[in-house]
């Protein structure tokens, strides 16, 4: 069985004929993968596709060999998604939402209380998310991610608005999950805290998705990720556009698999 994500011929856009994300072939395996790219490139949209929030207009996405849209329950059972916007319904208390997640992941409801305790929200768990600060809202979504030891984690700007202690809690938990063999994809502009553990990077440039293996040398890793987050390497076939220009939306070709070079085919 293929662990992690496999994307084949994926196209997605909010309006017909204008794809925001396009990926002919991409594999995201176990370990930490950083999702990099400039603002508005389509990183969060790719996250939504991988989380099963949005369905690709074309192509398939499988997680651990299960199609996200053929077996919706099975593929999402051990998936945790932390969106950039803490997206919780205003019609339920934080405790109710966390208990719902626990019941759906088939873990004891006591785990929900433990998760709330871990993020420091026990005292306000009876409130609606609308009565919480932005940092507390993000903690609430993180509490949901902590439940049931998920082995696929999608984190969109996870450190944003978190205080120092919560950042440390999150990074410790991430390290545990990575050591346990989880597939972790982090979209971030704060690369430093994740760099040491990252195995690969995925770049999104105007919707075109590429992946590349990071080299072992720390300095080379740093240079590559910084370059990728500022102006990601242009994939073969898209031409040598200058920074800030919008390349034409074309289907990217399959890349090679050597360190520092784009990869993609599963």
Regarding 107 and contact with another protein (CB under 8 A), the answer is: no
Q: How far is the CB of 50 from another protein (least distance, A)?
A: 9
Regarding 163 and contact with another protein (CB under 8 A), the answer is: no
Beta bridge pairs of residue 173: none
* Contact window for another protein (CB under 8 A) among 50-58, 177-185, 190-198, 256-264: 50-58
C-beta atoms surrounding 126 within 10 Å: 11
Among 52, 215, 233, 266, binds another protein (CB under 8 A): 52
Among 2, 89, 253, 256, binds another protein (CB under 8 A): 89
Regarding 77 and contact with another protein (CB under 8 A), the answer is: yes
Q: How far is the CB of 254 from another protein (least distance, A)?
A: 28
* Contact window for another protein (CB under 8 A) among 83-91, 173-181, 223-231, 253-261: 83-91
Beta bridge pairs of residue 63: 5, 66
Regarding 226 and contact with another protein (CB under 8 A), the answer is: no
Among 104, 180, 196, 220, binds another protein (CB under 8 A): 104
Regarding 265 and contact with another protein (CB under 8 A), the answer is: no
Regarding 127 and contact with another protein (CB under 8 A), the answer is: yes
Among 5, 81, 146, 194, binds another protein (CB under 8 A): 81
CB nearer another protein, residue 141 or residue 214:
141
Dihedrals φ, ψ of 132, to 5°? -110, 160
**Rounded CA gap, 202 and 188, in Å?**
11
CB nearer another protein, residue 160 or residue 241:
160
Contacts to another protein by CB under 8 A: 14, 48, 51-55, 69, 72-74, 76-77, 79-81, 83, 85-93, 95-97, 99-105, 109, 125-131, 134, 137, 141, 154
């Amino acid at each position: 069985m293929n662990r992690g994500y496999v994307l084949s011929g994926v196209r997605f856009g909010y309006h017909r004929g204008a794809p925001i994300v396009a990926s002919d072939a991409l594999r995201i395996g176990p370990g930490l993968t950083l999702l990099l790219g400039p603002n508005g490139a389509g990183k969060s949209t790719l996250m939504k596709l991988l989380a099963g929030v949005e369905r690709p207009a074309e192509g398939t996405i499988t997680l651990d060999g299960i199609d996200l849209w053929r077996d919706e329950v099975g593929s999402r059972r051990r998936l945790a998604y932390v969106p950039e916007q803490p997206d919780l319904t205003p019609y339920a208390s934080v405790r109710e939402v966390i208990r719902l997640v626990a019941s759906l992941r088939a873990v004891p409801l006591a785990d929900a209380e433990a998760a709330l305790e871990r993020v420091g929200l026990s005292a306000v768990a009876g409130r609606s998310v609308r009565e919480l600060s932005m940092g507390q809202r993000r903690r609430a979504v993180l509490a949901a991610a902590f439940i049931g030891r998920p082995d696929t984690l999608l984190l969109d700007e996870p450190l944003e608005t978190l205080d120092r202690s919560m950042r440390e809690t999150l990074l410790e938990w991430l390290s545990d999950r990575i050591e346990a063999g989880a597939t972790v994809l982090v979209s971030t502009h704060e690369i430093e805290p994740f760099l040491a553990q990252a195995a690969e990077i995925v770049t999104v440039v105007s919707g075109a998705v590429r992946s590349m293996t990071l080299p072992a040398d720390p300095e080379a890793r740093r240079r590559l990720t910084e370059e990728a987050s500022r102006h990601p390497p242009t994939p073969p076939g898209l031409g040598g556009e200058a920074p800030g220009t919008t390349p034409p939306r074309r289907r990217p070709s399959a890349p090679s698999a050597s360190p520092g070079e784009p990869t993609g085919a599963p």
